[in-house]
């Protein structure tokens, strides 16, 4: 029973990572209606940036948050401006090719610069375990979960209370009408893309102590992010939270009770099933069909 | 004649150039060049096969390595376990890939754009992880090594020239199949589905079987090349075989060469692959990711700067369609147009289309409330009513696009037996042609191709479809627009194209949804004449129309709907003078004001 409880708790902790991973992706899809296949590579940038900052400039992981988040915001902003914006009215497949191209480029650039070796961000204090009535919790995981939930709430408040947040929602509803109301759509899109990537920056620094970084690390995570975003309903932040919890727990249970090697297979099978049976996700309205 | 010569000269030049290009690596004699030539053939062939799904059908599969891997693994496993020649292994692999293609594409045919890509990636990942997991048969992550049996029977040769010849053969098979599909009905159908699904269904195209067919053919070709390439490499492992990066590469070559063109994918591979390989050769001692980074960069630049690809952008490759169509028009002078050829066999008062008790609800809204109507043979029936009365919903029910909550739609088939309408495709095949209120042209295709697509309902033959299309174009006054892309037509032109495409399906019942809206007075006169001509050949017409002059001039009977229900039915004169009708359009205040 204790083991089962521990597995469930581990799943919840994993959900924290998944929330952080998917929230930016779903925000970008909800507003810009673009599926960013390079999402994982932005996470990779965040992880490498954290690794470099903590290893070579002596910053702690927490201190690295600000520069990494800024870097990711700028990367996202530039990506929207240079690659996505010119393709907004192009056919869907052009956006797929463009973001896949960016993904391939970034992944191989990392291979070129850092080599195929695995790099680890050293932060021993983050990996301390605390025990609450027999259940073990890793500090860094706990922080990730708390921050991810705060991020989701913060994003909601931002979108409903601030002017720019409301512009983002307006543009998401109807691009042309928002433009007629004086919203600078290009700017809103670039900021949204930047924000989506900034969320990744935050998560990247927090998970850096637990996950080593290598050039293809993004591919591993991005598929989970897609599973969650679609399960939760595209563009739906609340849905993404529920979906993260579900996938986190499924992942954890499958890893323990079935096989560590096959847990991903199970998650991807769920993904395929969802896409086939209910492409609108659990709570979503946007349809993939 | 001039055009004929021009084509021939170009063809000869092309063949000569291809032969020189094909022989070059052999003459050069260096193993490195031969290796690159094999790579070009393999990836050119893979990209050509991918293009059948990704380019023609517009479904961007990023999991094509699944089929490549099935080919590789099947061949190698059969060879290791049963000492079976890879030639047989290749055939078995193709069959398995074909089945896998049905498994992948049948449940996912509805998915669009990025969602289809995601599902193919997910399939690829699942297969890759299972291959890594499976130690016994597939050798797990360490992969399988191919025993060194040399000879044609084993597809392994001492001299690279033979491998190259074989790779060239498989490339030509792939190109040949892609070329055949593009030039035949299936290619046209795939493009139509890619451009607009609803319009494709309305002219009788079965989306599911057409898409699955494309996927199966593409998968089998991919698998075939996978089998060959495994023997060439003499070693396979899951990460390199079921590789997302490779799937992306294949798609990239097709995009850079020109999506949906026959030779584009090969040309893409021919240009990009050597550059990346040479860079890898020069820089390999320094860095690992160079050629991948080049691929990524080239892909982004290609999308932003040359979205139509090399073949699409260069006019050298596009035949002079305008001149060809002009020649066709001259070659088939107007004798008697298609309508005159069909004597009307009108049986008075014979019902051809019958709806009874149709109810359609959207949530709480009852869009169609117990509507029954009968369309008689050779009659023009008008359907009018204020905006939001449910006219288009009724059309969608009659043409199978919507399923009613209750009630039935029945059409008399050619033998006079009633058949229930269940789907748009079946409906079109039974002889109901419909137009869309908001024109739905196949935008990327020419006007001629748009009309031909309608004609394919009754013929498999391309020249025959072309002749029908020319006839219909003359009838509808589209002959001067034939070579234009449909997207360049005016709103009025697109409406006419809707009618032309529908007429090309030779319908017995014609459903016209506001075809006169936005037309000029002269155009309306022409349209009135045309609809009369069509009716005079025995076609029954049901038309939604706000244009009152046309409605009054054309209709034998008019049905007025309001708030989803039939308000009244009668001759044009009865309808316009009916107080209830006036009230429905103008509100009850109008009566008092008058």
Of A76-80, A192-196, A260-264, B321-325, the range with the lowest mean pLDDT is B321-325
pLDDT category at B364 given cuts 50, 70, 90 is confident
Over residues A192-196, the mean pLDDT reads 93
Q: What would the pLDDT profile of B243-277 be if each residue is shown by its tens digit?
A: 998 999 999 999 999 888 899 999 999 988 988 88
Q: Which two tokens stand for residue B343?
A: 């004597």
Query: Nearest-CA distance from B30 to chain A in Å?
Result: 29
Nearest Cβ partner for A268 among B111, B126, B292: B126
Same domain, residue pair B225 and B287: yes
For residue B194, pLDDT over 60 is answered with yes
Of A83-87, A129-133, B501-505, the range with the lowest mean pLDDT is A129-133
Q: Return the half-sphere exposure (C-beta side, CA atoms, 13 A cut-off) of residue B379.
A: 20
Is the CB of B304 less than 8 angstroms away from the CB of A110? Answer: no
Is the CB of B112 less than 8 angstroms away from the CB of A288? Answer: yes
Over residues B222-246, the mean pLDDT reads 93
Same domain, residue pair B581 and B491: yes
Nearest Cβ partner for B303 among A98, A110, A259: A98
For residue B166, pLDDT over 90 is answered with yes
In a domain, residue B1? The reply is: no
What distance in Å separates the CA atoms of residue B108 and residue B120, rounded to the nearest whole number? Answer: 9
- What per-residue confidence (pLDDT) applies to B192? 93
Buried-state track A83-115, b at ≥16 Cβ within 10 A, e below 16: bbeebbeebbbbbbbbbbbbbbbbbbbbbbebe
**Nearest CA-CA partner of A92 in B259, B293, B170, B88:** B259
In a domain, residue B76? The reply is: yes
- What per-residue confidence (pLDDT) applies to A236? 82
Same domain, residue pair B581 and B514: yes
Is the CB of A108 less than 8 angstroms away from the CB of B58? Answer: no
In a domain, residue B521? The reply is: yes
Of A63-67, A232-236, B86-90, B163-167, the range with the lowest mean pLDDT is A232-236
Q: What would the pLDDT profile of B544-585 be if each residue is shown by its tens digit?
A: 988 888 888 889 999 988 888 888 888 888 888 887 877 777
In a domain, residue B18? The reply is: no
Nearest Cβ partner for A104 among B112, B115, B299: B299
Residue A194: count of CB within 10 angstroms of its CB: 23
What CA–CA distances, in Å, run from B123 to A85, A275, B120, B174, B195?
Answer: 30, 12, 5, 24, 26
In a domain, residue B107? The reply is: yes
Over residues B129-157, the mean pLDDT reads 88
Residue B317: count of CB within 10 angstroms of its CB: 18
- What per-residue confidence (pLDDT) applies to B338? 57
Over residues B278-304, the mean pLDDT reads 81
Same domain, residue pair B505 and B384: yes
Same domain, residue pair B302 and B383: no
Same domain, residue pair B471 and B586: yes
Over residues B84-101, the mean pLDDT reads 96
Under 8 Å CB pairs connecting chains A and B tally to 150
Over residues A261-288, the mean pLDDT reads 75
Give the domain-ending residue among B268, B303, B319: B319
- What per-residue confidence (pLDDT) applies to A289? 40
Nearest Cβ partner for A104 among B117, B129, B248: B248
Nearest Cβ partner for A97 among B289, B292, B303: B303
**Nearest CA-CA partner of B15 in B172, B174, B166:** B172
Query: Nearest-CA distance from A101 to chain B in Å?
Result: 4
For residue B223, pLDDT over 90 is answered with yes
Is the CB of A104 less than 8 angstroms away from the CB of B133? Answer: no
For residue A286, pLDDT over 50 is answered with no
- Name the percent of chain A lying above pLDDT 90: 33
Q: Which two tokens stand for residue B396?
A: 């969608």
- What per-residue confidence (pLDDT) applies to B85? 93
pLDDT category at B2 given cuts 50, 70, 90 is very low
> Residues B155, B149: contact at Cβ < 8 Å?
no
Same domain, residue pair B404 and B271: no
Give the domain extent around B188.
30-319
In a domain, residue B164? The reply is: yes
Q: Which bin fits B563, alpha (ψ -120 to 50), beta or left (φ > 0)?
A: left
- What per-residue confidence (pLDDT) applies to A275? 85
**Nearest CA-CA partner of B63 in B141, B118, B130:** B118
Which CATH number is B200's domain given? Answer: 1.10.3470
- What per-residue confidence (pLDDT) applies to B287? 65
- Domain count of chain B? 2
Same domain, residue pair B286 and B366: no
Q: Which residue of B has its CA nearest to A38?
A: B296
Is the CB of A275 less than 8 angstroms away from the CB of B295? Answer: no
pTM for this entry: 0.89
Q: Which residue of A has its CA nearest to B118?
A: A226
Q: Which two tokens stand for residue A172?
A: 């998401």
Among B63, B289, B298, B305, which would you mutate to test the A interface (most chain A Cβ atoms within 10 Å of its Cβ)?
A: B289
What distance in Å separates the CA atoms of residue B568 and residue B501, rounded to the nearest whole number? Answer: 32
Contact status of A13 with chain B (Cβ, < 8 Å):
no
Q: Which residue of A has its CA nearest to B197?
A: A289
Same domain, residue pair B390 and B284: no
In a domain, residue B147? The reply is: yes
Nearest Cβ partner for A262 among B114, B133, B251: B133
**A-chain residues near B114 (CB < 8 A):** 35, 37, 92, 95-96
Among A89, A92, A97, A251, which would you mutate to test the B interface (most chain B Cβ atoms within 10 Å of its Cβ)?
A: A97
Query: Nearest-CA distance from B131 to chain A in Å?
Result: 11
- What per-residue confidence (pLDDT) applies to B80? 92
What distance in Å separates the CA atoms of residue A288 and residue A226, rounded to the nearest whole number? Answer: 13
Over residues A25-41, the mean pLDDT reads 90
Query: Nearest-CA distance from B262 to chain A in Å?
Result: 18
Tokens 């939604």 belong to residue: B544
In a domain, residue B419? The reply is: yes
- What per-residue confidence (pLDDT) applies to B588? 66
Is the CB of A92 less than 8 angstroms away from the CB of B114? Answer: yes
- What per-residue confidence (pLDDT) applies to B334? 66
Query: Nearest-CA distance from B556 to chain A in Å?
Result: 41
For residue A144, pLDDT over 70 is answered with yes
Query: Nearest-CA distance from A263 to chain B in Å?
Result: 10
Tokens 């209750």 belong to residue: B406
Is the CB of B289 less than 8 angstroms away from the CB of A271? Answer: no
Q: What is the DSSP letter of B335?
A: S
For residue B3, pLDDT over 70 is answered with no
Query: Nearest-CA distance from B365 to chain A in Å?
Result: 19
Is the CB of A98 less than 8 angstroms away from the CB of B130? Answer: no
**Nearest CA-CA partner of B253 in B334, B316, B311:** B311
**B-chain residues near A269 (CB < 8 A):** 126
Same domain, residue pair B224 and B131: yes
Give the domain-ending residue among B299, B319, B339: B319
pLDDT category at B285 given cuts 50, 70, 90 is low
- What per-residue confidence (pLDDT) applies to B317? 46
Q: What is the DSSP letter of B446?
A: B
Of B11-20, B42-51, B362-371, the range with the lowest mean pLDDT is B11-20
Is the CB of B292 less than 8 angstroms away from the CB of A104? Answer: yes
Query: Nearest-CA distance from A86 to chain B in Å?
Result: 7
**B-chain residues near A230 (CB < 8 A):** 115, 118
pLDDT category at B1 given cuts 50, 70, 90 is very low
Over residues A101-119, the mean pLDDT reads 90
For the ranges A174-188, B178-192, B507-521, the one whose mean pLDDT is highest: B178-192
pLDDT category at B342 given cuts 50, 70, 90 is low
Return the beta strands (E) in chain A as ranges. Answer: 129-132, 135-138
Instruction: Output the 3-class SS for A217-253.
Output: HHHHHHHHHHHHHHHCCCCCHHHHHHHHHHHHHHHHH
For residue B518, pLDDT over 80 is answered with no
Nearest Cβ partner for A104 among B296, B303, B307: B296
Among A102, A108, A115, which would you mutate to test the B interface (most chain B Cβ atoms within 10 Å of its Cβ)?
A: A108
Same domain, residue pair B253 and B361: no
Query: Nearest-CA distance from B109 to chain A in Å?
Result: 9
More confident residue, A221 or B348: A221
Give the domain-ending residue among B295, B319, B343: B319
What distance in Å separates the CA atoms of residue A196 and residue B584, rounded to the nearest whole number? Answer: 51
- What per-residue confidence (pLDDT) applies to B61? 94
Query: Nearest-CA distance from B54 to chain A in Å?
Result: 9
The end-to-end CA distance of chain A, in Å, is 42
Contact status of A105 with chain B (Cβ, < 8 Å):
yes
Window 113-152 of A, Cβ < 8 Å to B: 115-116
More confident residue, B123 or B480: B123
- What per-residue confidence (pLDDT) applies to A279? 72
Which CATH number is B386's domain given? Answer: 3.40.50.300
Same domain, residue pair B312 and B362: no
């Amino acid at each position: 029973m204790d083991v089962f409880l521990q597995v469930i708790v581990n799943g919840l902790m994993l959900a924290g990572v998944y929330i952080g991973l998917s929230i930016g992706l779903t925000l970008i899809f909800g507003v810009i209606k673009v599926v960013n296949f390079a999402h994982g590579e932005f996470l990779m940038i965040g992880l490498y940036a954290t690794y470099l900052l903590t290893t070579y400039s002596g910053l702690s992981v927490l201190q690295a948050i600000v520069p990494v988040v800024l870097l990711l915001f700028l990367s996202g902003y530039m990506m929207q401006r240079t690659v996505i914006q010119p393709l907004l009215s192009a056919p869907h497949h052009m956006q797929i090719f463009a973001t896949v191209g960016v993904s391939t480029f970034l992944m191989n650039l990392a291979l070129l610069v850092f080599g195929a070796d695995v790099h680890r961000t050293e932060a021993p204090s983050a990996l301390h375990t605390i025990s609450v009535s027999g259940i073990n919790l890793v500090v860094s995981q706990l922080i990730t979960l708390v921050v991810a939930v705060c991020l989701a709430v913060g994003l909601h408040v931002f979108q409903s209370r601030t002017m720019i947040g409301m512009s983002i929602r307006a543009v998401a509803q109807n691009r042309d009408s928002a433009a007629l109301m004086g919203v600078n759509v290009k700017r809103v899109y670039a900021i949204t893309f930047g924000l989506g990537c900034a969320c990744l920056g935050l998560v990247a620094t927090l998970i850096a102590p637990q996950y080593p970084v290598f050039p293809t690390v993004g591919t591993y995570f991005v598929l989970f992010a897609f599973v969650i975003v679609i399960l939760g309903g595209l563009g739906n932040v609340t849905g993404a939270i529920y979906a993260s919890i579900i996938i986190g727990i499924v992942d954890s249970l499958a890893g323990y009770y079935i096989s560590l090697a096959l847990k991903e297979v199970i998650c991807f099978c769920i993904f395929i099933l969802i896409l086939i049976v209910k492409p609108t996700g659990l709570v979503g309205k946007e349809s993939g069909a | 004649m001039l055009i004929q010569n021009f084509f021939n000269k170009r063809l000869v030049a092309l063949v000569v150039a291809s032969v020189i290009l094909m022989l070059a690596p052999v003459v050069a004699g260096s193993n490195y060049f031969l290796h690159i030539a094999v790579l070009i053939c393999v990836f050119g062939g893979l990209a050509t096969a991918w293009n059948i799904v990704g380019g023609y059908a517009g479904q961007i599969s990023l999991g094509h390595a699944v089929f490549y891997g099935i080919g590789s693994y099947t061949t190698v496993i059969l060879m290791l376990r049963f000492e079976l020649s890879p030639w047989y292994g290749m055939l078995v692999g193709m069959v398995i890939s074909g089945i896998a293609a049905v498994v992948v594409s049948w449940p996912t045919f509805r998915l669009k754009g990025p969602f289809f890509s995601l599902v193919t990636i997910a399939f690829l990942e699942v297969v890759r992880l299972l291959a890594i997991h499976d130690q016994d048969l597939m050798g797990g992550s360490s992969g399988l090594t191919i025993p060194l049996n040399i000879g044609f029977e084993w597809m392994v040769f001492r001299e690279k020239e033979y491998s190259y010849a074989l790779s060239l053969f498989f490339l030509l098979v792939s190109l040949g199949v892609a070329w055949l599909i593009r030039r035949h009905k299936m290619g046209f159908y795939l493009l139509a589905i890619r451009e607009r699904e609803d319009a494709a269904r309305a002219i009788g195209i079965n989306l599911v079987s057409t898409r699955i067919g494309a996927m199966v053919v593409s998968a089998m070709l991919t698998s075939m090349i996978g089998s060959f390439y495994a023997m060439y490499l003499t070693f396979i492992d899951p990460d390199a075989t079921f590789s997302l990066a490779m799937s992306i590469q294949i798609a990239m070559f097709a995009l850079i060469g020109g999506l949906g063109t026959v030779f584009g994918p090969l040309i893409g591979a021919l240009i990009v692959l050597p550059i990346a390989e040479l860079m890898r050769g020069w820089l390999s001692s320094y860095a690992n990711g160079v050629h991948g980074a080049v691929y990524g960069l080239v892909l982004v630049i290609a999308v932003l700067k040359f979205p139509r690809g090399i073949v699409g952008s260069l006019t050298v490759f596009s035949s002079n369609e305008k001149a060809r169509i002009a020649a066709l028009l001259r070659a088939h002078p107007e004798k008697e147009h298609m309508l005159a050829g069909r004597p009307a066999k009108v049986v008075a008062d014979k019902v051809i289309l019958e709806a009874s008790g149709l109810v359609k609800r959207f949530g709480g809204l009852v869009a169609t409330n117990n509507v029954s109507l009968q369309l008689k043979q050779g009659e023009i029936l008008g359907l009018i009513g204020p905006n939001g009365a449910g006219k288009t919903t009724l059309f969608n029910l009659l043409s199978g696009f919507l399923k009613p909550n209750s009630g039935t739609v029945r059409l008399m088939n050619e033998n006079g037996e009633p058949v229930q309408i269940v789907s748009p495709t079946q409906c079109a095949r039974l002889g109901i042609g419909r137009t869309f209120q908001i024109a739905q042209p196949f935008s990327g295709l020419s006007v001629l191709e748009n009309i031909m697509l309608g004609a394919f309902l009754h013929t498999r033959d391309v020249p025959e479809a072309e002749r029908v299309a020319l006839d219909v174009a003359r009838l509808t006054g589209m002959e001067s627009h034939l070579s234009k892309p449909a997207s360049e037509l005016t709103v009025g032109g697109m409406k006419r194209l809707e009618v032309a495409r529908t007429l090309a399906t030779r319908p017995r019942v014609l459903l016209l949804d506001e075809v006169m809206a936005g037309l000029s007075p002269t155009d309306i006169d022409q349209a009135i004449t045309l609809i009369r001509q069509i009716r005079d050949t025995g076609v029954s017409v049901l038309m939604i129309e706000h244009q009152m002059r046309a409605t009054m001039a054309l209709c034998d009977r008019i049905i007025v709907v309001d708030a989803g229900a039939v308000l009244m039915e009668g001759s044009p004169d009865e309808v316009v003078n009916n107080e209830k009708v006036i009230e429905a359009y103008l509100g009850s205040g109008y009566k008092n004001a008058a």
